[in-house]
Amino acid sequence: MAVIRPFKAIRPVKEFVDKIAALPYDVMNSEEAREMVKDNPYSFLHVDKAEVDLPLDVDVYDEKVYAKAKENLDKMIDAGLYMEDEKPNYYIYRQVMKGRSQTGFVACASIDDYSNNIIKKHELTREDKEIDRINHLYNCEAHTGPIFLTYREDKNISNIVNEWIKKEPIYDFKAEDGVAHTIWIIDDEDTVNKLQELFKSVKYLYIADGHHRTASAAKVGHIKRAEKDSYTGEEEFNFFLSISYPDSELEVLDYNRTVKDLNGLSTEEFFKKIEEKFEVIESDEQVKPKEKHTFGMYLEKQWYLLKAKSGIFNPEDPVDRLDVSILQNNLLRPILGIDNPRKSKRIKFIGGIRGLNELEKRANTDMKVSFSMYPTTTEDIMAIADSGEIMPPKSTWFEPKPRSGLFIHKF
CA atoms within 13 A on the CB side of 294: 10
120 backbone dihedrals φ, ψ, rounded to 5°: -95, 145
Residue 19 to residue 181: CA distance in whole angstroms:
13
User: Angle 211-227/127-140 helices, nearest 10 degrees?
Assistant: 50
State the alpha helices, DSSP H only, in 200-257: 211-227
Q: Are 370 and 257 within 8 A, CB to CB?
A: yes
Residue 154 to residue 152: CA distance in whole angstroms:
7
Chain-centroid distance of CA 241 in Å reads 14
In this structure, the strands spanning 252-253 and 100-110 are: unpaired
Chain-centroid distance of CA 324 in Å reads 18
Residue 357 to residue 308: CA distance in whole angstroms:
24
Respond yes or no on whether the N-terminal peptide bond of residue 400 is cis (omega within 30° of 0).
yes
Helix (H) or strand (E) holding 386: helix 378-386
Q: Are 88 and 192 within 8 A, CB to CB?
A: yes
Residue 30 to residue 60: CA distance in whole angstroms:
8
Residue 331 to residue 334: CA distance in whole angstroms:
6
Residues β-bridged to residue 151: 246
174 backbone dihedrals φ, ψ, rounded to 5°: -115, 130
List of the chain residues with pLDDT < 70: none
Residue 290 to residue 364: CA distance in whole angstroms:
24
Residue 240 neighbours by CB distance under 10 Å:
28
Q: Are 352 and 253 within 8 A, CB to CB?
A: yes
Would the pTM of this model clear 0.85, i.e. be above it?
yes
Q: What share of the chain is helix, strand, coil (3-state, %, to 5)?
A: 35, 25, 40
Per-residue pLDDT at 123: 86
Q: Are 197 and 3 within 8 A, CB to CB?
A: no
Query: Where in the chain are the domains?
Result: 10-251+399-410, 255-374
Per-residue pLDDT at 55: 97
Residue of 305, 347, 327, 297 lying closest to 392 (CA atoms): 327
Contacts 24+ apart (CB under 8 A), 23-27: 23/401, 23/403, 23/404, 24/48, 24/145, 24/401, 24/402, 24/403, 24/404, 25/49, 25/145, 25/404, 26/212, 27/401
Per-residue pLDDT at 354: 87
User: Residues 70, 74, 80, CA angle at the centre, nearest 5°?
Assistant: 155
Class of domain 255-374: alpha beta
